Amino acid sequence: MRTDLAPTIHRRDYQAFPYLLPRTQLFFDLDAERTRVHAILEFERVGDAALPLVLNGEQLTLESLLLNGQALTTNDYQLTTETLTLNPDSARFTLEITAFCGPQANTALMGLYVSGNSLFTQCEAEGFRRITWFPDRPDVMSRYTVTLRADKSRYPVLLSNGNLAGTRDLPDGRHEAVWEDPFPKPSYLFALVAGTFDCRETTVQTRSGRSALLQIYSDPGTRPKTAWALECLKRSVAWDETRFGLELDLDRFMIVAARDFNMGAMENKGLNVFNSSYILADPDSATDASYEAIESVIGHEYFHNWTGNRVTCRDWFQLSLKEGLTVFRDQEFSADMMAHGLGPHEAASARAVKRIDDVAMLRVAQFPEDAGPMAHPIRPESYQEIGNFYTATIYEKGAEVIRMMHTLLGEETFQAGIQEYFRRHDGQAVTCDDFVNAMESAWQARQPERNLKVFRHWYEQAGTPLVQVHLNYDAAQQRCTITLSQSNPPVGIERQQQGLHKPALHIPVAIGMLDKQGQTLAVPGADSTTGTVMLELTQTEQSWVFEHVPTAPVLSLLRGFSAPVRIAYEQADAELALLASHDTDPFARWEAGQALAARQLLLLAAQHDAAQPAADITLLKHTWQTLIADASLTPAYLARVLSLPPEKIVMADMLPMNPAAVAQARLQLRQQLGEQLAQEWLHIYHAHQHADAGAYSPDAVSAGRRALKNLALSYLAAAQHPQALTLAQTQYEQSDNLTDRMAGLAALMQWKDPSPGQAALTGFYDSWQGDPLIVDRWFALQASSPATQVQDVRRLMQHPAFTLRTPNRARAVVFQFCQNNLLNVHNPQGYAFWAEQVVTLDAINPEIAARLARAFDNWAQYAPDLRDAVRQALESIRDHAPLSKNVAEIVNKALQ
Ligand code: PHE
Ligand code: ZN
C-alpha cells in the first residue's frame, strides 16, 4: 500500500512571493531531442528580510548558474528534484540559468513537447518549471523577451507571445526570431511554437481604430479547414467589444492547432494553442456539434485575454475566477451567435436550446462530481495536484455562479461590475473575493440595500443544494403560499471536517404558475410577459404568499435553470405532461418532458431487474405527440425535447445505481417510442431531409433541422422499421456532410443484423483514414456502441491506427468505452480493463490517466456486487508503484 502521499496544499496557507521579477529573457536553442534554455532573470526583493529564493524546476538538467555574472558552485545553492534554492545577499540581482530539457521524451505534454514534427509548449498550470527554474506561480508577473533559434528547414515558423521584434539567419542553416511581449504575465501564459505550418490570416480594425493581425496556424495541407476558425475568431473579437466593451489589446493574435494536446485549448497571451479538434473543420470532417464547439472554444480562449490574462489569478485556488467567468462569457457568446438574425420567437428558442445543452452537460458531468469523492467548492480549500482541479465544478458550476450574479444584478449592472473589476484590477493577480466585491459595489451604487453577503457562500461549499418546494393553496382565500427550504449536506472531503457548518446560500428560484388548462396564471409581482417571479431564497426556509390566485396552480419551477440546484417537489405525471405541453418557459417545458421520460426509464430499469412486463408509455407517447404537433416549436428545440435523458442524469435518482440497467432501459424505451411513433418519425424525417437549401451550412437553424431529422432516423432504426435500413443506407452514401454521414452510419450500426453496419464501418475507414480527427470518430462510434464488449474494445486497440500516446485517440477508444459504454463496462472484466488502462496511461501521461481514473467516481452508490468489483479495481491501481501524484490523489480519495 502506498504511504508516500503527496503533501496537501491549503488555500489558507497562501503567502506572497518575496521577490519581484520585472524582466525575463529567454534564449532557446530548439532541438527535439535536447533543447537548451538560457534564462536571464532580474529579481528584486520585496521586503527587508533576506528570505531564500526558491524556484521551481522539474525534469531539467542544469548546465550553469550565474549570479550577477559570477558562476555559482554547488555550495551556493540547493537542488532537489523539484526546487532550486539560493540565498541571495543583495536586494537586486540577476540570475542566469542554463539548462536542458528533452521535448521528444516528454509524453506528459506539459512543458516543451513534440507533436507531429513540431514543437509546442503547455505551461498551465505548472508546466513552465519543465522549461527552466522559475517562480512558477501565477502571482509572479514578468515582462518576457524570447529568442528562438532552430534549424530553418525543419522549423521555419518560430512563434512566441507578443510582437515579433526581429528575425535573422544564422550559420549552419539555423535561424532566429525575437519576440517581445509588452504585457507582464505569469509563467503559465508563456508559449512557444516551432515547426512547419500553413497559415490563414486577416486584419481587423478594433473599436478604437487599431488594426490587428489575426492568424491561424495548422499542419501543412490543412489550410482549407481553418476558414471557420478564423471566422469564429473575428466574431469573438467583435462580440467582446459590443457585449462587454473589451477591446483586443495586441497587434497580433495567433492560434496554433496541435494534434497532441491534453485539453481543449490554452489561452497563452497572444499565442493560443489549440487541440486541432477545436480548429479544423470542413463539411466532410466536422459535424454540426464540432462547428459549434469550435466557435465556443475559440470564443472562450479569446475572452480569456481579458478575463484571465489582463486580470489573472493570485493562486490556483482562484482558478474559477478566470474559468467560471470565461465559460459564462463563452456561453453568452454562443447564445448570441445562435440567436443572431432570427425573429424574437426563434431567437428565444435558440437561446433556450443553448441553455438546455449547457444544463444537460452540467448535470452529466458536474452533479455527479459534486456528489462524489472529488467534490469541491468552486474555490477549493485544498489540493494535492492542481492538474486534477480543472473540473466541471470549477468551469461549469463556476459559470452558473457567475450567471446567478448576472440574474440578480441584471445585464446593465453586471456590465458595470465588469468595468469596475477592470478599473480596480487591470494588470493584477487577484482572488474570487475581489471579483465579487467589484460586482457588489456596482450593485450597491444602483441599489444600496442589496448585497452579496449570503451569495459569497457559493464559493465555500461543495455539493448540489437541494431546494424543497411546498405549495399550499387556500381556495376560500384564493391564497397561494409557496415555501422553499434548502439543504446541502457535507460531500467528499467535507465529510471529514468535524463540526462543519454549511450556511444557507442565496438561491434565485424563478417560478411560474399555470392553471389546469395550461394557461399562465397572472401572479402578483410576476413579469408581465413571461409570468415569471423570482424568489430569492437566502435562508434555510422561507415562504411567499400570493393573493388573488383564482385556482390551485401547477408550478413551473426553476425556470431557465436559475440556480445550480436540485428541486424536490412531488408532481404527478399528469402535471408534468401539462407543463411539457403548455409551459411558456422553454427550459421548464423541456425539463418537464425530460422528467416524465426519466420516470419511465427508472420504471423500466427496475422492471428489467425483476424481468417484469413492459411499462405503459401512453402518457409519454401522447405528450410527445402533442409536442410534435406544436408548430411553434423550432426543430432544434424539438430535437432536445424528443431526446431521452442521458443515463447519467437518470441514474442520479436511482439508489443503488445500476448503470447497465439504465442503459438497457434507454435502448428499450427508444425502441418502443420508435415503434409507437413510427408515422411521426417518418414524417419528421422527410420534412427535414434537406436541411440546407443549397450547400451545407453549420448555422444553428440548419443544424437544428439535421438534429431533428437524425433523431427521427435513430428512433426508426431502433424500432427496426422496414424503411429505416434504406433511409440510413441512402443517407450514409449520399449526404454531403459528416453530421448526416455519421448519423447514417450510427443508424446502420443499430441494425440487428450486423452486416450493413460492419460494411459501412469498413468503407468509412477506407475513405477517411488519412484524417486523424475522422478516424477518432470512427473509433469512438465503435467504442461506445452497445455491441462492443470488453474483448471487442481490446481488439480495437490492436488496430494499427491506435495509440495511447495521442490523447485524442486514447479518448476516442478507452475513454469512450469506460465513460460512455454503460451497457458493457459495468462488470468485473470492464473494471479490470479500466484499471489496467489507468496504470498504462499513467506512465505516459499522468493528466490523462487521472481523468480516466475518475470514470467511476460515484461507485459508492452502485449496487453491492458492482461496488465490490470497482473497489478491487481501485485497489489494484493504488497498489501499483510508482503512481503519479495525479492518479494517486484521485484513487486515494476514491478509496477513502
Ligand atoms: N486554461 C485552459 C482553458 O480553460 C484549459 C487548460 C488548462 C489547458 C490546463 C491546458 C492545460 O481554456
Ligand atoms: Zn478557460
Please give the grid coordinates belonging to residue 743: 448519423
Q: Tell me the per-residue pLDDT of 297-315, one tens digit each, with 9 for 90 and over.
A: 999 999 999 999 999 999 9
Quick one: pLDDT band at residue 5, thresholds 50, 70, 90? confident
Contacting residues for 332 by C-beta, under 8 A, at least 6 apart? 243
Mean pLDDT of the chain: 97
**Crossing angle of the two packed helices 700-718 and 659-676, in degrees rounded to 10:** 90
Q: Tell me the per-residue pLDDT of 435-472, one tens digit each, with 9 for 90 and over.
A: 999 999 999 999 999 999 999 999 999 999 999 999 99
- Cα 485 from Cα 414, distance rounded (Å): 27
Q: Tell me the per-residue pLDDT of 407-439, one tens digit each, with 9 for 90 and over.
A: 999 999 999 999 999 999 999 999 999 999 999
Number of alpha carbons in the 13 Å side-chain half-sphere of residue 232: 31
- Cα 237 from Cα 302, distance rounded (Å): 8
The DSSP output letter for 311 is B
- Cα 179 from Cα 509, distance rounded (Å): 51
The 3-class SS string of 869-884 reads HHHHHHHHHHCCCCCC
Specify the pLDDT at position 612: 62
Best CA proximity match to 41, nearest among 129, 149, 144: 144
Number of alpha carbons in the 13 Å side-chain half-sphere of residue 200: 21
Query: What was the ipTM of the complex prediction?
Result: 0.99
Atom 3 of ligand 1, nearest CA residue = 266
Ligand 2 centroid to residue 304 C-alpha, Å: 7
Which ligand number lies closest to the CA of residue 189? 1
Quick one: pLDDT band at residue 794, thresholds 50, 70, 90? very high
Atom 6 of ligand 1, nearest CA residue = 266
Atom 1 of ligand 1, nearest CA residue = 266
Pocket test for ligand 1, best of 255, 320, 329, 390 (most atoms within 8 A of CB): 390
The answer to whether the beta carbons of residues 784 and 814 sit under 8 Å apart is: no
The answer to whether the beta carbons of residues 17 and 56 sit under 8 Å apart is: no
Residue 349 has pLDDT above 60, yes or no: yes
Query: Which burial class, exposed, middle or buried, applies to 7 when counting CB atoms under 10 A from its CB (0-12, 13-18, 19+)?
Result: exposed
- Cα 422 from Cα 435, distance rounded (Å): 9
Residue 614 has pLDDT above 70, yes or no: no
Ligand 2 centroid to residue 322 C-alpha, Å: 7
Ligand 2 centroid to residue 335 C-alpha, Å: 18
Pocket test for ligand 1, best of 109, 124, 275, 325 (most atoms within 8 A of CB): 124
Tell whether ligand 1 has an atom less than 6 A from the beta carbon of residue 128. Answer: no
Atom of ligand 1 nearest to the CA of 125: 9
Pocket test for ligand 1, best of 255, 267, 848 (most atoms within 8 A of CB): 267
| Lowest-pLDDT range of 35-49, 228-242, 413-427 | 35-49
Ligand 1 centroid to residue 309 C-alpha, Å: 12
- Cis omega (within 30 of 0) on the bond before 656? yes
Strands 211-218 and 252-258: parallel
Q: Tell me the per-residue pLDDT of 496-545, one tens digit each, with 9 for 90 and over.
A: 999 999 999 999 999 999 999 999 999 888 999 899 999 999 999 999 99
Which ligand number lies closest to the CA of residue 297? 1
The answer to whether the beta carbons of residues 695 and 855 sit under 8 Å apart is: no
Residue 339 CA from chain centroid, whole number: 22
Say how many C-beta atoms besides its own lie within 10 A of residue 727's C-beta: 21
- Cα 391 from Cα 381, distance rounded (Å): 14
Tell whether ligand 1 has an atom less than 6 A from the beta carbon of residue 109. Answer: no
- Cα 463 from Cα 9, distance rounded (Å): 21
Atom of ligand 1 nearest to the CA of 261: 10
- Cα 830 from Cα 395, distance rounded (Å): 30
Please give the grid coordinates belonging to residue 58: 522539474
The answer to whether the beta carbons of residues 529 and 449 sit under 8 Å apart is: no
Q: Tell me the per-residue pLDDT of 622-636, one tens digit each, with 9 for 90 and over.
A: 999 999 999 999 999
Residue 608 has pLDDT above 80, yes or no: no
Best CA proximity match to 847, nearest among 389, 437, 533, 429: 389
Length in residues, the chain: 896
Ligand 1 centroid to residue 387 C-alpha, Å: 10
Ligand 1 centroid to residue 416 C-alpha, Å: 27
Q: Which helix (H) or strand (E) holds 235?
A: helix 227-244
Tell whether ligand 1 has an atom less than 6 A from the beta carbon of residue 122. Answer: yes
Nearest 5°: phi and psi at 889? Answer: -60, -45
Ligand 1 centroid to residue 628 C-alpha, Å: 41
Quick one: pLDDT band at residue 3, thresholds 50, 70, 90? very low
The answer to whether the beta carbons of residues 748 and 760 sit under 8 Å apart is: yes
Quick one: pLDDT band at residue 611, thresholds 50, 70, 90? low
Q: Tell me the per-residue pLDDT of 146-199, one tens digit each, with 9 for 90 and over.
A: 999 999 999 999 999 999 999 999 999 999 999 999 999 999 999 999 999 999
Which ligand number lies closest to the CA of residue 328? 2
Tell whether ligand 1 has an atom less than 6 A from the beta carbon of residue 332. Answer: no
Which ligand number lies closest to the CA of residue 275? 1
Mean pLDDT, to the nearest integer, of 639-666? 97
Tell me the C-alpha to C-alpha distance, in Å, between residue 805 and each of 93, 813, 853: 42, 12, 17
Tell whether ligand 1 has an atom less than 6 A from the beta carbon of residue 396. Answer: no
- Cα 271 from Cα 68, distance rounded (Å): 32
- Cα 598 from Cα 604, distance rounded (Å): 10
Residue 736 has pLDDT above 50, yes or no: yes
Tell whether ligand 1 has an atom less than 6 A from the beta carbon of residue 300. Answer: yes
Atom of ligand 1 nearest to the CA of 300: 12
Tell whether ligand 1 has an atom less than 6 A from the beta carbon of residue 330. Answer: no
Please give the grid coordinates belonging to residue 79: 537542488
Atom of ligand 1 nearest to the CA of 308: 1
- Cα 451 from Cα 373, distance rounded (Å): 33
Specify the pLDDT at position 691: 72
Atom 7 of ligand 1, nearest CA residue = 124
The answer to whether the beta carbons of residues 81 and 62 sit under 8 Å apart is: no
Instruction: Write down the catalytic residue from 124, 292, 295, 301.
Output: 301
Residues at Cβ < 5 Å from ligand 2 ion:
323, 326
Atom 12 of ligand 1, nearest CA residue = 266
Specify the pLDDT at position 91: 94
* Residue 332 designated active-site: no
Show the DSSP H helices in 502-585 as ranges. 573-582
Specify the pLDDT at position 4: 55
The DSSP output letter for 858 is T
Specify the pLDDT at position 465: 98
Q: How much of the chain exceeds pLDDT 70, in percent? A: 99
Best CA proximity match to 458, nearest among 320, 357, 322: 320
The answer to whether the beta carbons of residues 374 and 492 sit under 8 Å apart is: yes
Best CA proximity match to 432, nearest among 310, 325, 562: 325
Q: In which order are the strands placed within the sheet that holds 157-160?
A: 111-115, 118-122, 192-195, 157-160
Which ligand number lies closest to the CA of residue 125? 1
Tell whether ligand 1 has an atom less than 6 A from the beta carbon of residue 847. Answer: no
- b/e sequence 837-872, b meaning 16+ C-beta within 10 Å: bbbebbebbbbbbbbbbbbbbbbebbbeebbebbbe
In the chain, what's the furthest Cα-to-Cα distance? 95
Tell whether ligand 1 has an atom less than 6 A from the beta carbon of residue 263. Answer: yes
Distance from the first to the final alpha carbon of the chain:
13
Which ligand number lies closest to the CA of residue 316? 1
- Cα 377 from Cα 374, distance rounded (Å): 10
Ligand 2 centroid to residue 4 C-alpha, Å: 32
Pocket test for ligand 1, best of 113, 256, 266, 386 (most atoms within 8 A of CB): 266
Nearest 5°: phi and psi at 101? Answer: -135, 165
Specify the pLDDT at position 694: 84
Q: Which residues pair with 514 in a beta bridge?
A: 520, 554
Tell whether ligand 1 has an atom less than 6 A from the beta carbon of residue 124. Answer: yes
- Cα 38 from Cα 321, distance rounded (Å): 33
Under DSSP, is residue 840 helix (H, G, I), strand (E, B) or coil? Answer: helix
- Cα 716 from Cα 724, distance rounded (Å): 6
Strands 174-180 and 118-122: unpaired
Say how many C-beta atoms besides its own lie within 10 A of residue 290's C-beta: 20
- b/e sequence 106-133, b meaning 16+ C-beta within 10 Å: bbbbbbbbbbbebbbbbbbbbbbbbbbb
Residue 328 has pLDDT above 70, yes or no: yes
The answer to whether the beta carbons of residues 841 and 849 sit under 8 Å apart is: yes
Mean pLDDT, to the nearest integer, of 858-881? 97
Ligand 2 centroid to residue 84 C-alpha, Å: 30
The answer to whether the beta carbons of residues 155 and 32 sit under 8 Å apart is: no
The 3-class SS string of 27-85 reads EEECCCCCEEEEEEEEEEECCCCCCCEEEECCCCEEEEEEECCEECCCCCEEECCCEEE
Tell whether ligand 1 has an atom less than 6 A from the beta carbon of residue 301. Answer: yes
Please give the grid coordinates belonging to residue 664: 438497457
Mean pLDDT, to the nearest integer, of 784-809? 98
Specify the pLDDT at position 2: 43
Atom 8 of ligand 1, nearest CA residue = 266
Tell whether ligand 1 has an atom less than 6 A from the beta carbon of residue 189. Answer: no
Specify the pLDDT at position 48: 77
Ligand 2 centroid to residue 471 C-alpha, Å: 41
Best CA proximity match to 665, nearest among 786, 567, 544: 786
